[in-house]
Chains A and B, each alone.
Chain A
């Protein structure tokens, strides 16, 4: 399989990015909810948020690369069987997924950096605080983070349902080509 996207198939780069991001988002969502309920004396009380933030910031970097890649190697054309409405809905859906991801990641960053503290990524390097001092920034960013994270996973679930519909009902290549296996 080639790295670049072709006119019919996604290439390996986009495929790895897509599924890697999908897994990471689901993982971060579950981790985020779980870590909020931890007992103070749990051994994960400090490590779980550190992992959540570190993985989240790496995801942010990956998402920036993903956008760059999308520009370097545009996705395959829409399937001829897709109606204008389907194309519009899918473009709007994908755009919202991208936007939602950035809202969630940036709001998370704004929670932890509200008082000017940098975020350490696995102790490897630090991401400095850039925006501080918004009144009750940590609470505001926290509310956005919480609701946007829910909106994001609900939208991602609809996105997956739509892919299944293409695969099982329309029996087209939409899902297959995200594995690089377009048939038609």
Chain B
């Protein structure tokens, strides 16, 4: 009896300690130390790179318990930029992102599984073009610590692969170009 109570207490304390250590971070939007980039094959011969300039979000993270981490990102689809105005206009149109109808895309993590030293698979719901589908981000913890200006930062990178058709994107760019690779770098400042 006593023993049981004791274990329950220590377990509770351990959990509490774990909880207390998980910190909340805001994506460093102000300093823009975060990037939502993507690449897509051009005809199978080369890559087109692009970026979404306007997004924001937060995450909670504890290096000791990566499974308890959470991520939330909201992105303005109209902020797409591939360094070519005519193409960006096309990307915002109904052929691709439908930005008038679906001005935001969101990612909300649902599960984080550690896959090794400093790596994890972040599963979450991606809502893009009005369609919500689970997506897995292969993430890597890059580092954390004090910054020179009195704050505390943690940073990650990750990649995810999505099929455009899964998200109702109509344009057919050919069989080599059905998938888009998302290339992410996110730095958060502890709240």
Measuring CB to CB, which residues of chain A are less than 8 angstroms from any residue of chain B?
39-41, 49, 111-115, 117, 136-139, 142
The residues of B that contact A142 with a CB separation of less than 8 Å are 89
Chain A: minimal CB distance from B92 (Å): 6
Residue of A nearest to B81 (CB): A115
Contact (A115, B173) CB under 8 Å given A136-B78, A138-B89, A139-B89: no
**Do A114 and B85 have beta carbons less than 8 Å apart?**
yes
**Do A115 and B172 have beta carbons less than 8 Å apart?**
no
A-B interface, 10 closest residue pairs, ranked by CB to CB distance from nearest: A114-B85, A115-B85, A138-B85, A138-B89, A40-B173, A142-B89, A139-B89, A112-B86, A139-B92, A138-B88
Q: How far is it, in angstroms, between the C-alpha of A81 and the C-alpha of B89 when the chains are bound?
A: 50
**Do A137 and B174 have beta carbons less than 8 Å apart?**
no
Chain B: minimal CB distance from A126 (Å): 16
List CB contacts (< 8 Å) of B59-108 with chain A. 78, 83-86, 88-89, 92
Q: How far is it, in angstroms, between the C-alpha of A115 and the C-alpha of B88 when the chains are bound?
A: 10
Answer yes or no: B21 CB below 8 A from chain A CBs.
Answer: no
Answer yes or no: B13 CB below 8 A from chain A CBs.
Answer: no
Q: How far is it, in angstroms, between the C-alpha of A138 and the C-alpha of B88 when the chains are bound?
A: 8
Chain B: minimal CB distance from A86 (Å): 42
Contact (A40, B85) CB under 8 Å given A136-B78, A139-B92: no
The residues of B that contact A111 with a CB separation of less than 8 Å are 85-86, 89
Q: How far is it, in angstroms, between the C-alpha of A136 and the C-alpha of B92 when the chains are bound?
A: 10
From A39, A112, A137, A139, B172 is in contact (CB under 8 Å) with: A39
Measuring CB to CB, which residues of chain B are less than 8 angstroms from any residue of chain A?
78, 83-86, 88-89, 92, 171-174
From B85, B92, B171, B173, A137 is in contact (CB under 8 Å) with: B85
Contact (A115, B78) CB under 8 Å given A40-B171, A40-B174, A138-B88: no
Residue of B nearest to A49 (CB): B86
**Do A115 and B89 have beta carbons less than 8 Å apart?**
no
From A115, A137, A139, B83 is in contact (CB under 8 Å) with: A115
Chain B: minimal CB distance from A76 (Å): 43
From B85, B92, B173, B174, A117 is in contact (CB under 8 Å) with: B85
Q: Which of B85, B88, B89, B173 gathers most chain A CB within 10 Å?
A: B85
Residue of A nearest to B177 (CB): A40
**Do A41 and B86 have beta carbons less than 8 Å apart?**
no
Q: How far is it, in angstroms, between the C-alpha of A80 and the C-alpha of B191 when the chains are bound?
A: 81
Q: How far is it, in angstroms, between the C-alpha of A49 and the C-alpha of B90 when the chains are bound?
A: 13
Q: How far is it, in angstroms, between the C-alpha of A115 and the C-alpha of B172 when the chains are bound?
A: 25
**Do A115 and B171 have beta carbons less than 8 Å apart?**
no
The residues of B that contact A113 with a CB separation of less than 8 Å are 85
Q: How far is it, in angstroms, between the C-alpha of A136 and the C-alpha of B91 when the chains are bound?
A: 13
Residue of A nearest to B88 (CB): A138
Q: How far is it, in angstroms, between the C-alpha of A117 and the C-alpha of B88 when the chains are bound?
A: 14
Chain A: minimal CB distance from B82 (Å): 10
Residue of A nearest to B86 (CB): A112
Q: How far is it, in angstroms, between the C-alpha of A117 and the C-alpha of B89 when the chains are bound?
A: 14
Chain A: minimal CB distance from B104 (Å): 16
